[in-house]
Structure 1
């Protein structure tokens, strides 16, 4: 830790500010840094503060311990052995959480500051969605990525689907989402989804090096260019057939 840094500790996060870089750490390693309503509420508060902090030029997001983010907090189905019942309970608890995720991850994606995901371990479900909402993704070789939502009986959120589609296109997005397959950092680097694979002990250092490169750029040009890319990605997703799920016709099961 930088001796001149400022650190704020929350229930689910730690935020360190130093040298115009804010490092936001998901800080529940004993639970593999899960996503729940309390975590999302704190994250929204943190993002609002970073958005309004003129001294912060780049944001790094990482996880404490050996996981980046395990995705949804599955404590709601702890002890339920029947698969169908687990799916039912998980689906019922999802509706409010998915609205919070959409809003909070949208705030992350729309920050004026460039954002870097330092993926230090598994990024699962919403955890991978969290990384996709960042502008850059660096990962350790051991990191694994997957969306288990379909296996849990729910669809992947529209926001994460759109971000994934914008990155990899229709065929790979369907493969990733519908099969719930697990992917290595090496595989995703080959697909252009991981910008760099870094040894575990060097991950945050590599992210800070990238952050320093970005800080040296003209701020207004950097911010506007990020906005332009985000707009074009959203347009591409729309033109590629992303539709309102409320008008999708489901066959009876």
Structure 2
């Protein structure tokens, strides 16, 4: 399927989503928001996908939300209460475009070059890992246009980096450079070039894809759950989870492969259950 904002390929259990509007600095046009939901819905339904890489083209990863999206947020009704309710639903719909990334059964890795601005920070904050070129920078730009960021940055970023760093970025509108982003843990690894970054991230994606997809899905589920719950809640959840998931053929296969010095062979997960309505 052809998309306006993305190129999408799937190979060797790795889905690669690439923003493809470099001349416009990959700004998040209206099509971006509908397409990202469609793409991740399709990837979720594809049992062969075990990891996804999100990258971009050109000088900047993304310039953030396109002005046309702001225009589309204008409510169609006049009555004040209904106008506000409609606007709230539109904001929630935008949030869903990134929340869907967290709900994927597989990890999503972001490869970032140049500017990651505004909505770009919301996007990569929802990913499992972030990698960047040395010229990259992160910019919570909303404060500079008189608004509060509302699509996930202020909710997710404090769970990734020290809260003081987020507050400095959000209150001042200053850029966070790649070196500092690496120091505070926003970025896993820095690369000298875009090409080297893509090679490195694809190698990590391949390593993830070689593990049991059932164990990877469980690991992501536990990490996300533990981020938002107490240690006791997390321990209770993993005990329940593994009481159901531990008796799998993947465990003896992984052990046998290690002893035989070969690559393990794991079955794909089943497709998600069909929607009843």
> Which bin holds the TM-score, normalised by the shorter protein?
0.7 to 0.9
Q: What pairs up with 1:72-91 in 2 under 5 angstroms?
A: 72-74=65-67
| Equivalent residue number for residue 223 of structure 1 | 217
- Does 2:188 correspond to 1:187? no
| Equivalent residue number for residue 24 of structure 2 | 31
Q: Which moved more, 1:51-60 or 1:165-174?
A: 165-174
- CA distance, structure 2, for counterparts of residue 19 and residue 55 of structure 1: 8
Residue in structure 1 matching 2:11, options 18, 21, 24: 18
- CA distance, structure 2, for counterparts of residue 233 and residue 179 of structure 1: 27
Partners of 1:47 and 1:108 within 8 A in 2: yes
Q: CA deviation at 1:25?
A: 0.7
Name the CA shift for 1:32/1:177 in 2 (closer, same or farther; >3 Å): same
- Partner of 2:161: helix, strand, or coil? helix
Q: CA deviation at 1:176?
A: 1.4
| Equivalent residue number for residue 173 of structure 1 | 166
- CA distance, structure 2, for counterparts of residue 39 and residue 229 of structure 1: 28
| Equivalent residue number for residue 3 of structure 1 | none
- CA distance, structure 1, for counterparts of residue 69 and residue 94 of structure 2: 17
Name the CA shift for 1:76/1:225 in 2 (closer, same or farther; >3 Å): closer
| Equivalent residue number for residue 243 of structure 1 | none
Residue in structure 1 matching 2:206, options 197, 212, 218: 212
Partners of 1:15 and 1:23 within 8 A in 2: yes
- Partner of 1:112: helix, strand, or coil? coil
Name the CA shift for 1:48/1:157 in 2 (closer, same or farther; >3 Å): same
Name the CA shift for 1:207/1:107 in 2 (closer, same or farther; >3 Å): same
Q: Choose 1 or 2 for highest CA Rg.
A: 2
- Partner of 1:44: helix, strand, or coil? helix
- CA distance, structure 1, for counterparts of residue 114 and residue 164 of structure 2: 26
Partners of 1:37 and 1:97 within 8 A in 2: no
Taking structure 1 as the reference length, the TM-score comes to 0.79
| Equivalent residue number for residue 112 of structure 1 | 105
Q: CA deviation at 1:207?
A: 0.8
- CA distance, structure 2, for counterparts of residue 55 and residue 186 of structure 1: 35
| Equivalent residue number for residue 9 of structure 1 | 2
- CA distance, structure 2, for counterparts of residue 234 and residue 20 of structure 1: 29
Structure 2, unaligned runs of 5 or more: 72-86, 231-277
| Equivalent residue number for residue 61 of structure 1 | 54
Residue in structure 2 matching 1:148, options 136, 141, 153: 141
Backbone CA RMSD of aligned residues:
2.1
Q: CA deviation at 1:170?
A: 2.6
- CA distance, structure 1, for counterparts of residue 196 and residue 53 of structure 2: 14
- Does 2:63 correspond to 1:70? yes
- Partner of 1:72: helix, strand, or coil? coil
- Partner of 1:177: helix, strand, or coil? helix
- Does 2:201 correspond to 1:234? no
- Does 2:128 correspond to 1:135? yes
- CA distance, structure 2, for counterparts of residue 76 and residue 215 of structure 1: 35
